[in-house]
């Protein structure tokens, strides 16, 4: 058995043992019913079914005694207002992304994705073992919130445009939906950005409220139909090489849960992270091909020169935001220090694309 397969099997055995123990403890526990609104509808590939999956797994582990009742986006509250609603206890939880809270705390973007950032392994290594979660917890604790990393998808694309971008000057003055810290990078090159929930993007694009958009990856974006309006999809997703979601819970209500139920939330979320990430890696190649052959989309790649402009702008954003916001700086310093240390290991393991001429 290979090392990777062995580690995966070991992880599964440990998770299974934990889940079995939690389920046994839960048999003697009280019934708990929480409302959980998702930021993405069940009609959206990967992101939508993930919320249902988490609820199902927790229910199964608790023999139905701990219920996360799933609600579609907007059923209880507007999709981008989970932070305040969960903080106040209006609902117990949301399946969402820290990126939707960056209007309040820009540094929380580090808990979902970072421009020109690493792949999932290194990113989670920093979050879980390098200090990221501890910094985020200081923010959430102030607002009676508890966040559990609870979803992960692979690299995204970086924009749907109605025209081929031959020169970045064409972006100046463009109105574009953009996510996370990447939005500040786009503003540096003259784009006017705004954050919209997934379901609000197509109508805005259709009516001309925005001229272009990024959202996710081919197998997700096809569900929103952006290709019907914009036929140029740009790669790579320099702003989102990986994206991590969260189960955002009311801290007071989370702390009152039996320990077994708290464990179930963690196990359910980690199961979801692995499942969701692998799904996106498996299905995006065909979806990318379908964009081209079925929907008439031209898959384009930014030139190295254009990517260099984006990266330079990102470095400027890092400096400026760190100077303006102490919490952002704490995230940035921790993240950059970990990446510097990790580079020793990462470079030692790097392979070329091919060793065959």
Predicted confidence (pLDDT) per residue in 65-108, tens digit: 999 999 999 999 998 999 999 999 999 999 999 999 999 999 99
Same domain for 139 and 33, yes or no, is yes
At 57 the pLDDT is: 97
Neighbour count for residue 66 (Cβ, 10 Å): 25
Section 38-53 average pLDDT: 94
- Distance between CA atoms of residues 277 and 283, nearest Å: 10
Residues 286-328: tens digit of each pLDDT: 999 999 999 999 999 999 999 999 999 999 999 999 999 999 9
Same domain for 118 and 175, yes or no, is no
The answer to whether residue 218 is domain-embedded is yes
Same domain for 328 and 298, yes or no, is yes
When pLDDT is cut at 50, 70 and 90, the band that residue 350 belongs to is confident
Same domain for 81 and 132, yes or no, is yes
Same domain for 76 and 119, yes or no, is yes
Which structural domain range is residue 130 located in?
14-151+244-276
Supply the CATH number for residue 294's domain: 3.40.190.10
Same domain for 103 and 207, yes or no, is no
When pLDDT is cut at 50, 70 and 90, the band that residue 355 belongs to is low
The mean predicted confidence, pLDDT, of the chain is 92
Supply the CATH number for residue 36's domain: 3.40.190.170
At 79 the pLDDT is: 86
When pLDDT is cut at 50, 70 and 90, the band that residue 26 belongs to is very low
The answer to whether residue 6 is domain-embedded is no
Pair of tokens at residue 347: 């470079």
Same domain for 121 and 202, yes or no, is no
Same domain for 179 and 311, yes or no, is yes
Same domain for 174 and 77, yes or no, is no
- Distance between CA atoms of residues 349 and 115, nearest Å: 22
- Confirm if 307 and 237 have CB atoms less than 8 A apart: no
């Amino acid at each position: 058995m290979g090392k990777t397969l062995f580690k995966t099997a070991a992880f599964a055995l440990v998770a299974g043992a934990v889940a079995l123990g939690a389920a046994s403890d839960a048999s003697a526990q009280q019934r708990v019913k929480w409302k959980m609104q998702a930021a993405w509808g069940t009609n959206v590939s990967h992101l939508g079914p993930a919320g249902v999956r988490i609820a199902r797994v927790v229910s199964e582990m608790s023999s139905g005694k701990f219920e996360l009742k799933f609600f579609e986006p907007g059923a209880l509250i507007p999709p981008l207002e989970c932070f305040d609603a969960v903080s106040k206890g209006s609902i117990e939880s949301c399946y969402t992304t820290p990126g939707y809270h960056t209007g309040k705390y820009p540094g929380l973007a580090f808990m979902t994705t970072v421009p020109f950032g690493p792949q999932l392994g290194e990113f989670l290594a920093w979050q879980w073992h390098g200090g990221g979660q501890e910094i985020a917890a200081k923010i959430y604790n102030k607002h009676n919130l508890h966040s559990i990393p609870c979803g992960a998808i692979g690299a995204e694309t970086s924009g749907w445009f109605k025209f081929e971008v031959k020169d970045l000057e064409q972006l100046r003055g463009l109105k574009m939906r953009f996510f996370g810290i990447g939005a500040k990078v786009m503003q540096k090159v003259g784009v006017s950005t705004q954050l919209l929930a997934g379901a609000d993007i197509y109508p805005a694009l259709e009516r001309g409220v925005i001229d272009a958009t990024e959202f996710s990856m081919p197998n997700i974006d096809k569900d929103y139909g952006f290709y019907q309006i914009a036929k140029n999809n740009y790669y790579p997703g320099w702003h989102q090489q990986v994206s991590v979601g969260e189960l955002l819970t009311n801290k007071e209500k989370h702390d009152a849960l039996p320990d077994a139920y708290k464990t179930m939330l963690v196990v359910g979320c980690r199961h979801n992270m692995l499942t969701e990430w692998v799904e996106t890696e498996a299905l995006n190649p065909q979806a990318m091909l379908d964009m081209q052959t079925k929907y008439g989309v031209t898959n384009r790649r930014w030139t190295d020169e254009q990517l260099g402009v984006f990266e330079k702008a990102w470095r400027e954003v890092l400096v400026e935001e760190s100077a303006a916001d102490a919490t952002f700086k704490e995230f940035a310093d921790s993240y950059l220090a970990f990446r510097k240390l990790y580079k020793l290991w990462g470079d030692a393991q790097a392979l070329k694309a091919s060793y065959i001429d």
